[in-house]
């Protein structure tokens, strides 16, 4: 069956890319009247030289009455001709973007257009949707559009030059919990690059994260900023508390069901070999422009600051856990005493809201900026704000304990 399918697809492709068809593309003729700028955009790209609309949309839809039959491409469509890029892409973190929001218990209580209809989370997490039919969820009807490859090579020009500029990453890597664009563009690297793109004296996102055009993106510390391979006892202690806050470990330190979520979504590097390989991939790029000593010193300092950041965060988590343990905050059914950080903003008390902001806003900036060489973000939007959060959490802890001598009924 599969063989016949492949043969059929190949014949289809040959027909679709042959110049004879390109000249008489009825698709374009009609669509040039419907959405002329779309067709013009397609003709801007190199692919218009060798193929027609059919290469990606098939030929089942032929006119006004059968629009439902138009195929919308998936990664597999591009993979037929770009296997190398697609395989690299699928091996990296981007292809897990949709999975990450699907596996989180939190997202299942959120509005569907917000999670699945590109009006919230999956406006950026439109990733790894290989086959919409395989998704057995209420969300499916909102998932019609949105495929990965156009995230950096926007349709219908599908340009390589566009994807090579750092702005291609900006639409998603900005703002609240991942302000990499803001940090990078105002760092020495960003400024040196943006002031003189031609000279390319300083690196852009792609140089460090897609070296040699490798479509597999993945870093050592990742989104959660964890080094689970660290042998430093203090770092291990703080991280143990953070993992309890994330609900990945229970109060006794044993793995919970969420540990499987972390593994499935590749949310953290679990062994030293993987962690070190990712670290080396990035620092090899630095060495094209800096000495090994300079790079090592910089990374050592960034890692040391990550430990300081985790220390403040762990202290805050323990205070909130204490309030839950002692009954000042009601622990919901199925939850442990530790705060539920992966519930994001769906928490009931002010003190937990402050902890959420410390986690997603201030801690993220505090450590991400150390790796992206932005002392302003590392300090004033990061570490200093975490200290403020900690003071507020301590004050609320005192106030709650003083004003509710009797514990909350559970």
- Near ligand HEC in 368-387, by CB under 6 A: 368, 371-373
- The single residue among 117, 118, 142, 210 that binds ligand HEC, judged by CB under 6 A, is 210
Q: Which stretch binds ligand HEC (CB under 6 A): 161-169, 330-338, 353-361, 379-387?
A: 161-169
Q: Does 173 bind ligand HEC (CB under 6 A)?
A: yes
- The single residue among 22, 116, 208, 317 that binds ligand HEC, judged by CB under 6 A, is 208
Name the burial class of residue 37, with classes exposed (0-12), middle (13-18) and buried (19+) by CB atoms within 10 angstroms of its CB. Answer: exposed
- The least CB distance from residue 154 to ligand HEC, in Å, is 9
Note whether 248 and 226 are within 8 A (CB).
Answer: no
Q: Does 146 bind ligand HEC (CB under 6 A)?
A: yes
- Determine the Cα–Cα distance for residues 123 and 200; give it in Å rounded to an integer: 31
Q: Does 358 bind ligand HEC (CB under 6 A)?
A: no
- The least CB distance from residue 280 to ligand HEC, in Å, is 9
Annotate 20-83 with DSSP letters as a single string. HHHHT-HHHHHHHHH-HHHHHHHHHSGGGGT--THHHH-SS--STT-GGGPPPP-HHHHHTT-H
Q: Does 221 bind ligand HEC (CB under 6 A)?
A: yes
Q: Does 320 bind ligand HEC (CB under 6 A)?
A: no
- By CB under 6 A, the residues from 3 to 32 that bind ligand HEC are 13, 17, 26-28, 30-31
Q: Does 151 bind ligand HEC (CB under 6 A)?
A: yes
**Residues whose CB falls within 8 Å of the CB of residue 195, separated by 6 or more in sequence, listed in order:** none
Name the burial class of residue 86, with classes exposed (0-12), middle (13-18) and buried (19+) by CB atoms within 10 angstroms of its CB. Answer: buried
Q: Does 351 bind ligand HEC (CB under 6 A)?
A: no
* CA pseudo-torsion sign 158, 164, 167, 169: positive
Per-residue burial over 39-55, b = 16 or more CB atoms within 10 Å of its CB, e = otherwise: bebbeebebbeebbbbb
Q: Does 206 bind ligand HEC (CB under 6 A)?
A: yes
- The least CB distance from residue 191 to ligand HEC, in Å, is 9
For residue 212, give the DSSP letter: G
Q: Does 274 bind ligand HEC (CB under 6 A)?
A: no
- By CB under 6 A, the residues from 54 to 83 that bind ligand HEC are 54-57, 59, 61-64, 67, 70, 72-73, 75, 77-78, 80-82
Closer to ligand HEC by Cβ: residue 87 or 348: 87
- The least CB distance from residue 324 to ligand HEC, in Å, is 23
- Number of residues this chain uses to bind ligand HEC (CB under 6 A): 120
Note whether 336 and 250 are within 8 A (CB).
Answer: yes
- The single residue among 139, 181, 313, 383 that binds ligand HEC, judged by CB under 6 A, is 181
- The least CB distance from residue 157 to ligand HEC, in Å, is 8
CA distances from 207 to 66, 102, 204, 290, 387 (A): 45, 30, 5, 14, 34
Q: Does 94 bind ligand HEC (CB under 6 A)?
A: yes
- Determine the Cα–Cα distance for residues 367 and 377; give it in Å rounded to an integer: 9
């Amino acid at each position: 069956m599969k063989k016949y399918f492949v043969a059929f697809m190949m014949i289809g492709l040959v027909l679709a890319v042959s110049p004879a068809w390109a000249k008489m593309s009825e698709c374009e003729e009609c669509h040039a009247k419907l959405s002329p700028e779309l067709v013009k955009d397609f003709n801007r790209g190199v692919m218009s030289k060798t193929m027609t609309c059919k290469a990606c949309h098939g030929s089942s839809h032929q006119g006004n009455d059968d629009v439902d039959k138009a195929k919308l491409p998936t990664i597999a469509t591009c993979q037929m001709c770009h296997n190398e890029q697609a395989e690299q892409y699928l091996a990296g973190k981007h292809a897990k973007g949709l999975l990450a929001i699907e596996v989180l218990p939190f997202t299942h209580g959120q509005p569907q257009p917000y999670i699945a209809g590109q009006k919230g989370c999956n406006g950026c997490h439109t990733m790894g949707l290989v086959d919409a039919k395989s998704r057995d969820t209420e969300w499916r009807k909102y998932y019609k559009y949105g495929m990965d490859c156009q995230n950096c090579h926007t349709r219908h020009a599908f340009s390589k030059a566009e994807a090579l500029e750092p702005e291609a990453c900006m639409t998603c890597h900005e703002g609240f919990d991942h302000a990499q664009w803001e940090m990078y563009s105002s760092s020495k690297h960003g400024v040196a690059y943006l002031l003189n793109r031609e000279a390319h004296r300083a690196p852009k996102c792609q140089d460090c994260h897609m070296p040699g055009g490798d479509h597999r993106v993945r870093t050592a510390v990742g989104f959660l900023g964890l080094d689970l391979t660290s042998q430093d006892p203090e770092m291990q202690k703080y991280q143990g508390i953070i993992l309890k806050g994330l609900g990945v470990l229970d109060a006794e330190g044993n793995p919970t069901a969420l540990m499987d979520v972390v593994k499935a979504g590749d949310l953290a590097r679990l062994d030293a070999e993987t962690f070190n390989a990712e670290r080396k991939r990035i620092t090899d790029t630095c060495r094209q422009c800096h000495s090994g000593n300079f790079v090592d010193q910089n990374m050592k300092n960034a890692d040391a600051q990550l430990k300081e950041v985790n220390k403040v965060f762990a202290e805050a988590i323990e205070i909130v856990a204490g309030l839950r343990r002692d009954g000042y905050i009601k622990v919901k059914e199925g939850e442990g005493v530790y705060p539920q950080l992966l519930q994001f903003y769906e928490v009931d008390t002010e003190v937990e809201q402050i902890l959420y902001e410390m986690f997603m806003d201030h801690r993220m900036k505090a450590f991400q900026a150390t790796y992206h060489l932005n002392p302003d973000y590392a300090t004033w939007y990061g570490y200093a704000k975490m200290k403020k959060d900690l003071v507020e959490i301590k004050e609320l802890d005192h106030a709650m304990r003083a004003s509710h001598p009797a514990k909350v009924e559970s």
